[in-house]
């Protein structure tokens, strides 16, 4: 990732430094994906060197995993370690702290970290807040590749107005960017019930705390 090309870099850097201040020796931390998480990983790398402490990271993308190695951050796993807390970004956040995530194609591992973490801090600049989900972004859906056609048809049946193949995830699954006129908790359940869907980019009623720049 080219740091100089990150949008709203100064705001995101402030959030990155806020999350780095929470790091304590011996913790296992879930590392999110995206540009803000990328900056946070760099800041955490600086923190552990300055304080001479040791932590483990459970990254949600290959990019963040590689960056952790570059920053001297030890890697853990959900199989062997218990997460103390996590951080991540979001593409959209509504007034109830429900989110759309996955425009970076990593929502399956992101959701795993959130579900395995007592608390997840969401780092978002002011451009990510919306009145209702779907205002700015489609819902990304991770799909087993040979199920693309079937899943697309089933998504239409539950209200999808547009479904576009975007590419592949780190897990070698397909991403379908899908538009809906109405997004709610029932929609998340309906999407997940379709055979071939690995995960949806709807994050509803998770145990998160949104970190704001002005807090």
Q: CB–CB of 93/99 below 8 Å? A: yes
List, in sequence order, every beta strand (DSSP E) within the chain.
28-31, 56-59, 74-75, 85-88, 92-93, 99-100, 120-123, 139-143, 160-168, 174-180, 197-200, 202-203, 208-211
| Angle (CA) 20 25 28, round 5° | 75
Q: Kindly calculate the radius of gyration of the chain based on its CA atoms and give it in whole angstroms.
A: 17
Q: Which residues participate in catalysis according to the annotation?
A: 110
């Amino acid at each position: 990732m080219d740091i100089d090309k990150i949008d709203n870099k100064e705001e995101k850097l402030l959030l990155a430094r806020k999350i780095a201040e929470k790091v304590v020796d011996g913790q296992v931390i879930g590392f999110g994906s995206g540009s803000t998480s990328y900056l946070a990983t760099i800041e955490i790398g600086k923190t552990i060197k300055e304080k001479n402490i040791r932590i483990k990271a459970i990254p949600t993308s290959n990019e963040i995993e590689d960056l952790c190695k570059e920053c001297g951050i030890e890697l853990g796993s959900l199989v062997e370690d218990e997460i103390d807390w996590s951080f991540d970004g979001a593409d959209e956040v509504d007034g109830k702290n429900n989110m759309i995530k996955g425009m970076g194609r990593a929502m399956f591992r992101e959701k795993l970290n959130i579900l395995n973490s007592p608390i997840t801090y969401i780092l978002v600049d002011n451009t990510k807040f919306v009145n209702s989900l779907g205002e700015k972004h489609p819902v990304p859906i991770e799909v087993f590749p040979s199920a693309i056609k079937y899943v697309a048809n089933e998504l239409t049946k539950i209200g999808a107005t547009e479904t576009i193949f975007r590419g592949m995830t780190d897990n070698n699954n397909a991403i379908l960017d899908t538009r809906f006129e109405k997004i709610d908790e029932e929609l998340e359940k309906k999407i997940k019930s379709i055979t071939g869907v690995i995960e949806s980019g709807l994050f509803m009623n998770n145990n998160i705390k949104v970190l704001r720049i002005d807090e």
